[in-house]
C-alpha cells in the first residue's frame, strides 16, 4: 500500500484515524496505531512482516541485556554486537548477497551465479531505525524500552515505515508514552500531507513520465543533446519531488497522530556547495551516517588522511545503502570525492569568497551529473547519456555527433511544456517566502484551507487518470 493510492486515502486512513480518535488513552492510541501499521506493511508482502518482527525482537532482547549489564562493559559490548549483526545480516542477505557473490564470481572468473532476492519493502529504513535504538541504549542516550509492543510501534509506525524519514529512537522516545492529538495539529498535518500528495501525483509523476519517454537506456530511441539534458533535468526534479513528497506526507501524518518528525528536505537545489546540498537533502540519512558511522570512526578529529578515509567510507556506504549495484557505489564515491575536493583543495573560506551566483549553477550541474549515474544501474547507459549531454553519441558502430534536437525530443518538450516551470518554482523557497510576508489572519487561514482542498481534489483527479505512480525510494 502506498500513500498515493485510493485504498489508502479513502479506506485505510479514514478508518485508522476514526479508531485512533475514539479514546484519549495512550495505550489505546498506540494499540490502534500498531495494528494499523502492521496491516499497512502486510498489505502487499505479509510474509516479510516476520522478518521485521524478528529484527525488532532480537534488538529488544539485546537492549535489555545491555541495560542489565551496566557494570560489565564487555557484556554490554557483546550484546551490542549481537544486535547490530542480527539486524544487518538480514539487510545484507536480501539486498547485497547476490551482488557481492556475483561480483566476486565475475572478478575471479568463477562459474556460478546467485539469483537476486526479492527486497522486502522498507528494509533499509527500518533496519537503520532499530539499530539507532540498540546503539542509543548502549550509549545511554535513551532508556531501554521494557514494552516490546511500543518498540515495535517505533519501528513499524506506518507514516515513516517504508520510505523514511529515518527516525532515531531518542527523538521519539517520549512521544511513545505521551503525545498531543487535537484539531490544530490535525489541521496542520493534513495540509502538509496534501502538499506532499500533490507534489507526488502531479509533479513527480509527470516528470517521471517525461523521463520514461526519453529514457537513454532504450536503445531504440534516437538521442539528441537536448533530449539527454531534458531527461536528466526531469529526473533531477522527479527524484526530489518523489522523495520529498513522501517525507512531507510522513511528517504530516506524524503530526496528525501526535509525532513531531524532523524535516528531511530543505530546498537542496539552492545549495551553494556540495556539503550544503547534503545538509539539505535526505537530512535523516546524513544524520544517521554522521552519528553512527562517521563520528565513531573518528570523524574529523584525526589526521587529514584519516579524515579523508573516514569520509570515503561513509560515502561509499551511503551509495551502497541506496542499492546493490556499482552505479550506486560510484555515485556515493562521486560525492565523497567532491566533498574532499571542497574541503581540502578549495577550503571553506575560499569557497565562501566565491560569489553565490557562480557556485549555485556549478553545484546544480554537478548534482544533475550525479543523478545520471544514480539513475542507470547499467554504467554503460550512464556513460551513454553523459556523452550525449556533450553531443557525442556512442553505439556499437562507434562515436557520432548527435543532433541538437530531434522530433521525439521536441514532441516530449511540447507535451510537458509547463512542467519545468512549475517544478522550478516548487523546488525553490518562493512559496514559503510569500507565505511569510502575508498577514496571519482569518482570511489567509481560510485561503490556506481552500488551497489545500483544491490540491487534494486535483491530486485525486490525477490519481484516477494515472497508471504511472511509482515511489522511487521504495526499492531502497
Q: pLDDT by residue (tens digit) across 103-133?
A: 888 887 778 888 888 888 888 888 888 999 9
State residue 299's pLDDT score. Answer: 80
pLDDT tens digit sequence for 197-216: 999 988 998 898 889 888 77
State residue 471's pLDDT score. Answer: 61
**From 74, 113, 282, 322, the catalytic residue:** 322
Q: 154 pLDDT band (50/70/90 cuts)?
A: very high
State residue 231's pLDDT score. Answer: 92
Average pLDDT over residues 79-89: 91
State residue 473's pLDDT score. Answer: 58
Is the model's pLDDT at 219 over the cut of 70? no
State residue 401's pLDDT score. Answer: 85
State residue 184's pLDDT score. Answer: 84
pLDDT tens digit sequence for 364-404: 999 999 999 999 988 888 988 999 999 888 776 678 888 88
Q: 278 pLDDT band (50/70/90 cuts)?
A: very high
State residue 212's pLDDT score. Answer: 87
322 is catalytic: yes
State residue 416's pLDDT score. Answer: 86
Residue keyed to cell 531518542: 170
State residue 317's pLDDT score. Answer: 93
Is the model's pLDDT at 95 over the cut of 90? no
Average pLDDT over residues 86-110: 85
State residue 16's pLDDT score. Answer: 94
Task: Provide the whole-model pTM.
Answer: 0.89
Amino acid at each position: 500500500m502506498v500513500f498515493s493510492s485510493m485504498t489508502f486515502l479513502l479506506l485505510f486512513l479514514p478508518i485508522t484515524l476514526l479508531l485512533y480518535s475514539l479514546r484519549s488513552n495512550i495505550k489505546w492510541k498506540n494499540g490502534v496505531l500498531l495494528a494499523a501499521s502492521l496491516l499497512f506493511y502486510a498489505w502487499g508482502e505479509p510474509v516479510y512482516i516476520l522478518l521485521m518482527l524478528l529484527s525488532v525482537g532480537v534488538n529488544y532482547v539485546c537492549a535489555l541485556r545491555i541495560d542489565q549489564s551496566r557494570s560489565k562493559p564487555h557484556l554490554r559490548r557483546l550484546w551490542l554486537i549481537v544486535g547490530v549483526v542480527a539486524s544487518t545480516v538480514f539487510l545484507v542477505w536480501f539486498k547485497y548477497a547476490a551482488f557481492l557473490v556475483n561480483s566476486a564470481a565475475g572478478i575471479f572468473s568463477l562459474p556460478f551465479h546467485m539469483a537476486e532476492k526479492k527486497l522486502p519493502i522498507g528494509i533499509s529504513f527500518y533496519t537503520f531505525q532499530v539499530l539507532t535504538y540498540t546503539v542509543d541504549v548502549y550509549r545511554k542516550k535513551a532508556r531501554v524500552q521494557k514494552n516490546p509492543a511500543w518498540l515495535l510501534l517505533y519501528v513499524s509506525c506506518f507514516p515513516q515505515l517504508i520510505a523514511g524519514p529515518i527516525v532515531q529512537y531518542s527523538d521519539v522516545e517520549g512521544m511513545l508514552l505521551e503525545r498531543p492529538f487535537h484539531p490544530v495539529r490535525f489541521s496542520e498535518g493534513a495540509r502538509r500531507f496534501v502538499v506532499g500528495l500533490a507534489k507526488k501525483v502531479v509533479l513527480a509523476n509527470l516528470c517521471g513520465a517525461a523521463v520514461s519517454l526519453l529514457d537513454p537506456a532504450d536503445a531504440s530511441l534516437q538521442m539528441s543533446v537536448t533530449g539527454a539534458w531534458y531527461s536528466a533535468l526531469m529526473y533531477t526534479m522527479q527524484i526530489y519531488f518523489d522523495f520529498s513528497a513522501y517525507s512531507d506526507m510522513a511528517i504530516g501524518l506524524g503530526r496528525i497522530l501526535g509525532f513531531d518528525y524532523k524535516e528531511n528536505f530543505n530546498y537542496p537545489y539552492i545549495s551553494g556547495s556540495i556539503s550544503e546540498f547534503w545538509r539539505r537533502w535526505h537530512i535523516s540519512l546524513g544524520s544517521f551516517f554522521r552519528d553512527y558511522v562517521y563520528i565513531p570512526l573518528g570523524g574529523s578529529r584525526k589526521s587529514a588522511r584519516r579524515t579523508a578515509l573516514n569520509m570515503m567510507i561513509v560515502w561509499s556506504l551511503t551509495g551502497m545503502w541506496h542499492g546493490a549495484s556499482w552505479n550506486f557505489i560510484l555515485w556515493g564515491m562521486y560525492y565523497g570525492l567532491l566533498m574532499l575536493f571542497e574541503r581540502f583543495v578549495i577550503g571553506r573560506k575560499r569557497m565562501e569568497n566565491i560569489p553565490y551566483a557562480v557556485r549555485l549553477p556549478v553545484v546544480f550541474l554537478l548534482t544533475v551529473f550525479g543523478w545520471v549515474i544514480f539513475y542507470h544501474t547499467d554504467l554503460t547507459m550512464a556513460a551513454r547519456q553523459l556523452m550525449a549531454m556533450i553531443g557525442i553519441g556512442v553505439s556499437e558502430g562507434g562515436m557520432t555527433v548527435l543532433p541538437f534536437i530531434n522530433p521525439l525530443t521536441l514532441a516530449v518538450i511540447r507535451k510537458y511544456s509547463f512542467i519545468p516551470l512549475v517544478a522550478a518554482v516548487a523546488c525553490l523557497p518562493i512559496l514559503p517566502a510569500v507565505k511569510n510576508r502575508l498577514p496571519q489572519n482569518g482570511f489567509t487561514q481560510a485561503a490556506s484551507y481552500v488551497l489545500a482542498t483544491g490540491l487534494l481534489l486535483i491530486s485525486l483527479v490525477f490519481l484516477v487518470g494515472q497508471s504511472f505512480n511509482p515511489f522511487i525510494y521504495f526499492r531502497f
